[in-house]
């Protein structure tokens, strides 16, 4: 099968880029896979798409000082890419034309869009033949009313729409009229890290992500001041960059936590830093999925997370492999952290459970679900399957068995440790 992803910027740092490459790399083991990046902003991509994935771009913005440095068309506003998509200022008549030419001439069996504006291009410009699969990495609830109106008109032209949580899939089924469109939730995938998992003995709490208001690191810092009052031997590392940095730095100083809370800046790869900790923390007011939760769990950390829409409750089994607390509740965050800090055996047991349970997000498992969906779509549109080296789907049950055995073995070792 020839699978073509359409991505905003495959050379940047971002959750959508990372999860797209995780999926593409897995599918490329059996299929012909390309990633078409609308923009190229640096010489090499930050994340490795994988040896079997072809990466190409449509617009090279390296060294650009003004849109006309590329082409006069790039100074004119886009007409296809919707104004309501937050990336609209970067798009133009040039991107409209180049994306349209790509979609009108592609020989792919399946074309996959990775953000709302690109899904609009898929719906309106893909030639007859390829199956059109739109991915939503955000949530319907966070889209503006204006964007919802545009999507409501365009999404019925897709063959399938995937969301990263079942809660979001239910919203699309309930609020949009999508006759004939397969709406399915498929979580983001996170590969097994190339580091030894945490043994739960270090005295570090770890958090990671953009320093943005929705991540509520201010809440985490205030909660950690309560932790320090009882357990001054524990510390917190926060990885990531963003516009909240100075505000958070001031809060750390105000609370006199400069010896206990550390803003570490962006770090890649992040897995070794998770593995140095014993507890993960996510205090967001909103998560479209919760990649950092899964990343921490895959490194053997139980995660204390706010039970915000939409993702955490679909990832964490509270009291088993992590803890869910009410959103915005500083005292609840502090109490949950202290419960794990003060009980070594509980912390290590939940860490082992987190490691086992997170195996269900392995790319092989998620890739098998996508392949099953794409086989259905290509059968529906009448396209042949240009197979290469076998089938992920044929191995899906073996993958499930392996994951089940891994989880069982890890839990058993946890009981006997």
Token representation of residue 394: 């044929």
Helices 291-298, 344-357: inter-axial angle, 10-degree rounding: 110
Token representation of residue 234: 């524990």
CATH fold of the domain at 2-185: Rossmann fold (3.40.50)
Which residues in the chain are classed under CATH 3.40.50.2000?
Answer: 2-185, 204-359
- The Cβ-side half-sphere exposure at 21, using a 13 Å CA radius, reads 20
Token representation of residue 201: 């003995």
pLDDT averaged over 10-residue windows placed end to end, the chain, 417 residues: 97 92 95 98 94 96 89 96 97 98 97 98 96 96 96 97 96 94 95 95 96 96 98 98 96 97 93 97 93 96 95 95 97 98 98 97 95 92 44 41 40 35
Residue 22 sits at φ, ψ, to 5 deg, of -55, -45
Contacts of 46 (CB under 8 A, 6+ apart): 11, 12, 13, 17, 268
| E strand or H helix that includes residue 60 | strand 53-60
Can you say whether residue 256 is alpha, beta or left, with left for phi > 0 and alpha for psi between -120 and 50 degrees?
Answer: left
pLDDT value for 382: 55
Q: Please provide the DSSP assignment of 367-401 as one string.
A: HHHHHHHHHHHHHHHT------S--TGGGHHHHHH
Report CA-CA distances (Å) from 16 to 22, 78, 227, 260, 353.
10, 22, 33, 32, 27
pLDDT value for 407: 40
pLDDT value for 24: 97
Q: Please say whether the beta carbons of 288 and 281 come within 8 A.
A: no
CATH fold of the domain at 204-359: Rossmann fold (3.40.50)
pLDDT value for 68: 87
DSSP 174: H
Distance CA 127, CA 150 (A): 20
pLDDT value for 66: 87
Contacts of 186 (CB under 8 A, 6+ apart): 162, 163, 164, 366, 369, 370, 373
Report CA-CA distances (Å) from 272 to 353, 365, 393.
19, 23, 32
Report pTM: 0.84
CA 68 vs. chain centroid, Å, equals: 34
Q: Environment class of residue 413 by beta-carbon count within 10 Å: exposed (0-12), middle (13-18) or buried (19+)?
A: exposed
pLDDT value for 381: 56
Q: Please say whether the beta carbons of 19 and 291 come within 8 A.
A: yes
| E strand or H helix that includes residue 357 | helix 344-357
pLDDT tens digits, 400-413: 444 434 443 433 33
pLDDT value for 190: 93
- Angle at Cα 323 formed by Cα 271 and Cα 194, nearest 5°? 15
Residue 19 sits at φ, ψ, to 5 deg, of -70, -30
Compute how many other C-beta atoms are within 10 angstroms of the C-beta atom of residue 386: 14
Q: Please say whether the beta carbons of 263 and 252 come within 8 A.
A: yes
């Amino acid at each position: 099968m020839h699978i073509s992803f359409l991505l905003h910027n495959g050379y940047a740092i971002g959750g959508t880029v990372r999860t797209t490459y995780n999926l593409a790399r897995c599918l490329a083991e059996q299929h012909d896979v390309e990633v078409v990046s609308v923009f190229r902003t640096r010489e090499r991509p930050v994340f490795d798409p994988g040896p079997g994935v072809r990466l190409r771009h449509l617009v090279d913005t390296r060294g650009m000082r003004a849109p006309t440095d590329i082409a006069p068309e790039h100074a004119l506003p886009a007409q296809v890419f919707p104004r309501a998509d937050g990336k609209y200022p970067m798009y133009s008549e040039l991107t409209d034309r180049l994306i349209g030419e790509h979609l009108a001439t592609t020989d792919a069996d399946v074309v996959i869009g990775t953000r709302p504006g690109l899904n609009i291009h898929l719906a309106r410009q893909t030639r007859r033949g390829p199956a059109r699969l739109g991915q939503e990495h955000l949530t319907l609830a966070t889209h503006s009313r204006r964007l919802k109106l545009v999507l409501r008109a365009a999404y019925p032209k897709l063959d399938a729409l995937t969301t990263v949580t079942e809660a979001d899939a239910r919203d699309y089924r309930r609020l949009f009229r999508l006759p004939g469109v397969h709406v399915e939730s498929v979580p983001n995938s996170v590969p097994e890290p190339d580091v030894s998992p945490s043994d739960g003995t270090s005295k570090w709490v770890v958090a990671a992500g953009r320093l943005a208001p929705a991540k509520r690191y201010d809440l985490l810092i205030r909660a950690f001041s309560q932790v320090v009052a009882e357990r001054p031997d524990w510390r917190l590392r926060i990885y990531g960059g963003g516009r909240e940095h100075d505000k958070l730095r001031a809060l750390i100083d105000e609370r006199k936590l400069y010896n206990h809370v550390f803003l570490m800046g962006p770090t890649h790869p992040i897995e070794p830093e998770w593995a140095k900790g014993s507890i993960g923390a996510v205090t967001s007011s909103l998560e479209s999925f919760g990649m950092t939760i899964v990343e921490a769990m895959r490194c053997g950390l139980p995660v204390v997370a706010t039970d915000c829409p939409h993702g955490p409750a679909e990832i964490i089994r509270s009291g088993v492999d992590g803890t869910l607390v009410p959103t915005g509740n500083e005292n609840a965050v502090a109490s949950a952290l202290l419960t794990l800090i003060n009980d070594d055996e509980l912390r290590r047991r939940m860490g082992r459970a987190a490691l086992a349970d997170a195996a269900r997000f392995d790319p092989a498992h998620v890739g098998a679900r996508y392949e099953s969906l794409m086989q259905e779509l290509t059968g529906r549109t009448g396209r042949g399957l240009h197979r290469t080296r076998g089938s992920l789907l044929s191995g899906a049950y073996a993958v499930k068995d392996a994951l089940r055995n891994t989880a069982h073995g890890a839990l058993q070792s946890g009981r006997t440790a």
